[in-house]
C-alpha cells in the first residue's frame, strides 16, 4: 500500500481563505536520457484502467465537475494532483488517479495514439517557440557530465519509445516504493483524510491487477524532487493535460514553424552552480543580462564579435545544479569568446549571491498544490524551515572557475516569428491498426464514472477558463457575433488552433454531449494535443489546440451540435 502523509498548513500559509481538499501523488520517475519516457508514462496514466476504463474520464471531470486533476513531469519525479471542495468527490478522484498510476494494461492502439499523436503534438507546439527551441538545441548538444536529461522528450525522440519500454518503465517506477501521496483537507483532521484515501486505494488494489505495494518514497526523495522544467519559457502555452519540461544520436535542431528563420551555429558557454543559488540569481537575471551586454560593448574594441546573450536554465539536473548559459555571437572567434568569459565571470563575481533553500515553485500548478509541496518540504527538512536564510556552501565565485563550451544551432533571439500562424510540422504518424479491431468501439461505449457517480455536481458553471493560447481566436469569434456583416461566423482557426462559439440555445444540452465518449474522439484518437469546452468573457467555446484536423473542425462542431437537435427534437441547427 502506498504511504499517505497528511501535511498540515505551514504557519506562513495564507489565512482566511477556504482551501480545497488537495492531494499530490509524488512519483519518483528518473530521466536517464532524452527519450521522454517518463513524460509518456505520465500521459498513459490517464488512458483508462480496469477500475476507471473510460479514456475520456479526465476530460469530462475537469470540464464539468468541481475539481481539478492534472499532472506534470520533471527530470526526477512526476506530480499528479487533484483538488476539490467536495470531500466525497475528492476521495473518488484520488482513487481514479491511483488506479491510473498502477495500471500497466494498455492496448497497442491507445499507446500509439498517445505517443504518435497527443505527445508529438504537444512537443511540436513547444518546439515552435524560439526560446524553447534554442534551449533544447543547447541541451541536445551539451556534452558536459552535468548536462540535462530532458524528461519531456522531443517530437522525434518519443517515437523511439516502444510499447515494452513503456510497460517496463511503469512496472519499475510506478509502485509504492517510489511513490508518496501528500494530502490536506480544509475541514478534517489528518487521521480522517488518510483513512478515507486508504480505503479508496485499497479497493483498487483488491481488483487484482497490477498494484504493487511497498514502502513510501524516502522523505529526502520527495522533498528534493526537481523544481521546474523549462517552465518560464512555456508557461503561456499551458493547456489541460499539459506536462513537459531529448535520444542523443538525433542531433538535429527542432523545426520552427517559420522556415525562413534559419538557425546558425553558435558556441555556448555554461557554468554549473548549485540550485541553492537560484533564488538570488533569478532576482538579478535581468540586471545580469543588461550589464553583460554593456560590458561587452565597452571592452571589445575591434568589433562586436564578442557579443552574445545570457540566460539562466533553472531546471535542476541530476547533480542538484542549474545552468548559467552564455550564447556567443556566431562570428565570435576563440579570442572573442575568451574575452566574453572574463566579462561574464567578472560581472557575476561582483554580485551578492548567497546559497538559500530552494522551495518548490511552478506557476503552471494551482497555488494550493504548490503550497502543499512546499509545506511538506519545510516540515520534513530543517534546511527548508527558513527559506531565505543563507546555507553553508562553497562561495558562489568558486563555481565560476570551470566553464564548459559546446556548439548548437541557435535561432536569432528577439526575432518574432513572422509566420506564427502556420500549421505544425507534418511529423505526426497515424496509429497502426491492431488485431482487435473492435477495441475502439468497446472503449467508446465506456462510461465516465466520476461524472456518472456525481451527476448532481455536473454543471457548465464548472467549465474551466479558455487557455490563454486561444484568447485571440475567441475574441475574433465574439466580435463576429456583433458584426452585421458576418454574425454567424462562430468558428475561428489559426494554423492548428481553433475555437467554436456555442450559441446559448445549445448550452442546456452540452452536458450530455460532453460526457459522451464520441465527443472526445479527436483527442483520444491522437488527432490533437488538446480538445475541450471552456468559458471566456461570458461565452462558451469548444476548442482544439495543435490539431492535425483543425480545418475540418468547423463542420465537426456543427455536426456535433446537430446531433443535439436530433436527440432533443429541436428545430434549429448551427449555421
pLDDT in tens, 60-79: 999 999 999 999 999 889 99
Cα distance between residue 499 and residue 556, in whole Å: 12
**Rounded CA separation 494/490 (Å):** 14
DSSP state for residue 385 in the 8-state scheme: S
Residues 469/497, Cβ–Cβ less than 8 Å: yes
pLDDT-derived band of residue 295, with 50, 70 and 90 as boundaries? low
Single out the residue of 245, 411, 261 nearest to residue 327, CA to CA.
411
By CB atoms closer than 10 A (0-12, 13-18, 19+), residue 193 is: buried
Q: Do the beta carbons of residue 493 and residue 473 sit within 8 Å?
A: yes
Burial of 570 (0-12, 13-18, 19+ CB in 10 A): middle
Residue 1 has pLDDT above 80, yes or no: no
Local structure of residue 455 (DSSP, 8 states) = G
Q: Which of 370-379, 450-459, 564-573 has the lowest mean pLDDT?
A: 564-573
- Within 10 angstroms of residue 139's Cβ, the number of other Cβ atoms is 23
Sequence-separated (6 or more) residues with CB below 8 Å from residue 382: none
CA distance 316 to 76: 9
Q: Where are the beta strands (DSSP E) in 222-318?
A: 264-274, 308-313
Grid-cell match 488512458, residue found: 47
Confidence class for position 389, pLDDT limits 50, 70, 90: low
What would the pLDDT profile of 183-239 be if each residue is shown by its tens digit?
A: 998 766 789 999 999 999 999 976 654 433 333 334 444 444 444 434 333 333 345
Asked whether 183 and 199 are in contact (CB, 8 A), the reply is: no
What residues does 67 pair with on adjacent strands?
A: 84
Report the first-to-last Cα separation within the chain, whole angstroms.
Answer: 54
Q: What is the mean pLDDT of the chain?
A: 81
Report yes or no: 34 and 154 within 8 Å, Cβ to Cβ.
yes
pLDDT of residue 538: 94
* Higher per-residue pLDDT: 5 or 444: 5
> Does pLDDT of 268 surpass 60?
yes
Amino acid at each position: 500500500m502506498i504511504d499517505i502523509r497528511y501535511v498540515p498548513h505551514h504557519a506562513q500559509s495564507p489565512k482566511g481563505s477556504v482551501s480545497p481538499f488537495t492531494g499530490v501523488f509524488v512519483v519518483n520517475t528518473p530521466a536517464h536520457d532524452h527519450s521522454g519516457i517518463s513524460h509518456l508514462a505520465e500521459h498513459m496514466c490517464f488512458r483508462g484502467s480496469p477500475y476507471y476504463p473510460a479514456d475520456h474520464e479526465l476530460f469530462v471531470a475537469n470540464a464539468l465537475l468541481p475539481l481539478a486533476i492534472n499532472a506534470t513531469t520533471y527530470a526526477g519525479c512526476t506530480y499528479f494532483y487533484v483538488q476539490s471542495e467536495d470531500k466525497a468527490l475528492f476521495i473518488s478522484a484520488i482513487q481514479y488517479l491511483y488506479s491510473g498510476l498502477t495500471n500497466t494494461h494498455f492496448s497497442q492502439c491507445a499507446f500509439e495514439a498517445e505517443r504518435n499523436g497527443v505527445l508529438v503534438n504537444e512537443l511540436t507546439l513547444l518546439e515552435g517557440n524560439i526560446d524553447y527551441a534554442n534551449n533544447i538545441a543547447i541541451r541536445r548538444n551539451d556534452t558536459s557530465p552535468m548536462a540535462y536529461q530532458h524528461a519531456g522528450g522531443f517530437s522525434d525522440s518519443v517515437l523511439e519509445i516502444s510499447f515494452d519500454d513503456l510497460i517496463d518503465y511503469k512496472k519499475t517506477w510506478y509502485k509504492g516504493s517510489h511513490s508518496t501521496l501528500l494530502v490536506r483537507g480544509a475541514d478534517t483532521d489528518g487521521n480522517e483524510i488518510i483513512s478515507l484515501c486508504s480505503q479508496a486505494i485499497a479497493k483498487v488494489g483488491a481488483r487484482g491487477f497490477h498494484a504493487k505495494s511497498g514502502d513510501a518514497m524516502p522523505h529526502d526523495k520527495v522533498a528534493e524532487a526537481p523544481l521546474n522544467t523549462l517552465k518560464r519559457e512555456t508557461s503561456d502555452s499551458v493547456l489541460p493535460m499539459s506536462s513537459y519540461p531529448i535520444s542523443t544520436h538525433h542531433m538535429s535542431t527542432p523545426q520552427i514553424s517559420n522556415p525562413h528563420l534559419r538557425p546558425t551555429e553558435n558556441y555556448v558557454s555554461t557554468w554549473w552552480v548549485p540550485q541553492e543559488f537560484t533564488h538570488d540569481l533569478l532576482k538579478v537575471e535581468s540586471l545580469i543580462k543588461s550589464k553583460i551586454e554593456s560590458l561587452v560593448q565597452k571592452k571589445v574594441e575591434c568589433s562586436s564579435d564578442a557579443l552574445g546573450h545570457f540566460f539562466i536554465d533553472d531546471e535542476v539536473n541530476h547533480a542538484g545544479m542549474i545552468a548559467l548559459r552564455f550564447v556567443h555571437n556566431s562570428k565570435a572567434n576563440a579570442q572573442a569568446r575568451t574575452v566574453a568569459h572574463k566579462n561574464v565571470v567578472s560581472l557575476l563575481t561582483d554580485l551578492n549571491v548567497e546559497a538559500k533553500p530552494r522551495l518548490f515553485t511552478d506557476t503552471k500548478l494551482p497555488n494550493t498544490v504548490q503550497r502543499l509541496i512546499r509545506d511538506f518540504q519545510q516540515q520534513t527538512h530543517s534546511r527548508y524551515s527558513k527559506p531565505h536564510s543563507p546555507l553553508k556552501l562553497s562561495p558562489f565565485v568558486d563555481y565560476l572557475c570551470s566553464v564548459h563550451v559546446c556548439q548548437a544551432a541557435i535561432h536569432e533571439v528577439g526575432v518574432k516569428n513572422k509566420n506564427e500562424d502556420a500549421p505544425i510540422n507534418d511529423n505526426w504518424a497515424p496509429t497502426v491498426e491492431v488485431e482487435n479491431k473492435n477495441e475502439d468501439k468497446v472503449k467508446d461505449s465506456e462510461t465516465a464514472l466520476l461524472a456518472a457517480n456525481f451527476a448532481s455536481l455536473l454543471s457548465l458553471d464548472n467549465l474551466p477558463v479558455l487557455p490563454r493560447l486561444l484568447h485571440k481566436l475567441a475574441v475574433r469569434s465574439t466580435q463576429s457575433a456583433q458584426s452585421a456583416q458576418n454574425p454567424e461566423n462562430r468558428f475561428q482557426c489559426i494554423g492548428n488552433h481553433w475555437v467554436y462559439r456555442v450559441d446559448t440555445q445549445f448550452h442546456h444540452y452540452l452536458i450530455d454531449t460532453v460526457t459522451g465518449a464520441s465527443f472526445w474522439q479527436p483527442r483520444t484518437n491522437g488527432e490533437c494535443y488538446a480538445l475541450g469546452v471552456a468559458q471566456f468573457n461570458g461565452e462558451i467555446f469548444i476548442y482544439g489546440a495543435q490539431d492535425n484536423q483543425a480545418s475540418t473542425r468547423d463542420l465537426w462542431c456543427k455536426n456535433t451540435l446537430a446531433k443535439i437537435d436530433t436527440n432533443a427534437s429541436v428545430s434549429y441547427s448551427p449555421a
